[in-house]
């Protein structure tokens, strides 16, 4: 019966189980990943990250959603992974190249206040070509402010890839993020037939010309407190739509106002930075059933 060492970290409320498979190779099946991420019978997390060796970069990130599916990229996850690498002394670098299914991402660290570490990930260039997101819409060209009808409700959707697909929707005037029925419309859009690989869904409110508020339904994980690629997608779409004009953007998420983005232009790389926290270090998981030791 094998015991597997793991740590649990969170970035802005997005929490992850992270396992070092560089020092000790490991293979988990889909059912095991789902069990680990289960908040009642497992460790509980939005996703699971395996830190692996890479022939192209300093390390490779294998990321799995809580439903066991793979994801191309996770903004908060990659920052937590770098914090894990630092805490476990797998590398002494403060600048790392991380291989992901969305390409190689550059991540840097610097000291914050106290024991905090501020970690910045370059999120790469936004992709608007529908074929590369992917999104199958009836009209050609970028999907901006296009009407999508679900049951009797119309949504004006905006689609972009930040290495993974996102559908960004601005709230109508008078709608409140805190009472918006995310659990109804999030999954309905996530798995809509126009998204062959499903999609992440962000509902956003423009607070002023440099500030947004956001709730998110993550592909393969459902409602989460935060999403790094989602915050980046929201900022890109807000600028593209002319709703904000600042290139230094703050994105408010439930309980926090810590997501900061800097966009030098709509086609440039997007740095995403904030704190990551270690919330459950150095525990073990029984591979046959999720018991903590």
Q: Has 279 been annotated as catalytic?
A: no
What residue has token string 């793979």? 70
Q: What is the 3-state secondary structure (H, E, C) of 53-77?
A: CCCCCCEEEEEEECCCCECCCCHHH
Hey, what are 5's tokens? Answer: 């060492």
User: CB neighbours (10 Å) of residue 292?
Assistant: 11
Contact indicator for 261, 232 with CB cutoff of 8 Å: yes
What residue has token string 């002394």? 89
Calpha distance 107→11 (Å, rounded): 14
Which segments within the chain are labelled E, that is strand? 3-11, 14-20, 47-52, 59-65, 95-100, 103-111, 117-122, 146-150, 153-161, 165-170, 200-208, 211-218, 222-224, 248-253, 256-262, 271-286
Q: Which of 74, 80, 159, 167 is labelled catalytic?
A: 74
Q: How far apart are the first and last CA of the chain?
A: 13
Calpha distance 279→273 (Å, rounded): 19
Q: Which of 37, 159, 167, 227 is labelled catalytic?
A: 227
Q: Has 74 been annotated as catalytic?
A: yes
Give, for 282, the enclosing helix (H) or strand (E): strand 271-286
Hey, what are 80's tokens? Answer: 């937590």
3-state secondary structure of 189: helix
What residue has token string 């937590």? 80
Catalytic residue positions, numbered: 74, 227
């Amino acid at each position: 019966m094998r015991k597997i060492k793991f740590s649990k970290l969170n970035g802005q409320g997005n929490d992850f189980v992270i396992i070092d498979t560089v020092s000790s190779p490991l293979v988990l099946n889909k059912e095991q990943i789902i069990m680990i991420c289960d908040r009642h019978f497992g460790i509980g997390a939005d996703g699971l990250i395996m830190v692996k060796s890479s022939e192209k970069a300093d390390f490779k990130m294998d990321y799995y959603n809580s439903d066991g599916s793979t994801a191309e990229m996770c903004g908060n996850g990659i920052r937590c992974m770098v914090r894990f690498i630092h805490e476990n002394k797998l590398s002494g670098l403060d600048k790392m190249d991380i291989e992901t299914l969305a390409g190689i991402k550059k991540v840097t660290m610097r000291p914050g206040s106290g024991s905090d570490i501020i970690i910045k990930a370059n999120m790469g260039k936004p992709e608007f070509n529908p074929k590369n997101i992917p999104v199958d819409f009836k009209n050609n060209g970028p999907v901006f402010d296009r009407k999508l009808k679900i049951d009797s409700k119309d949504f004006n959707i905006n689609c972009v890839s930040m290495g993974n697909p996102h559908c960004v929707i601005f709230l109508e005037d008078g709608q409140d993020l805190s009472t918006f029925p995310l659990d109804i419309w999030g999954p309905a859009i996530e798995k809509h037939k126009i998204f062959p690989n499903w999609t992440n869904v962000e509902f956003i409110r423009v607070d002023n010309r440099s500030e947004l508020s956001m709730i998110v339904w993550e592909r393969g994980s459902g409602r989460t407190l935060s999403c790094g690629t989602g915050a980046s997608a929201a900022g890109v779409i807000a600028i593209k739509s002319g709703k904000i004009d600042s290139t230094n953007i703050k994105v408010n998420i439930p309980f926090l106002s810590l997501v900061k983005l800097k966009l030098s232009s709509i086609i440039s790389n997007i740095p995403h930075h904030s704190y990551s926290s270690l919330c459950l270090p150095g525990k073990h998981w029984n591979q046959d059933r999720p018991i903590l030791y």
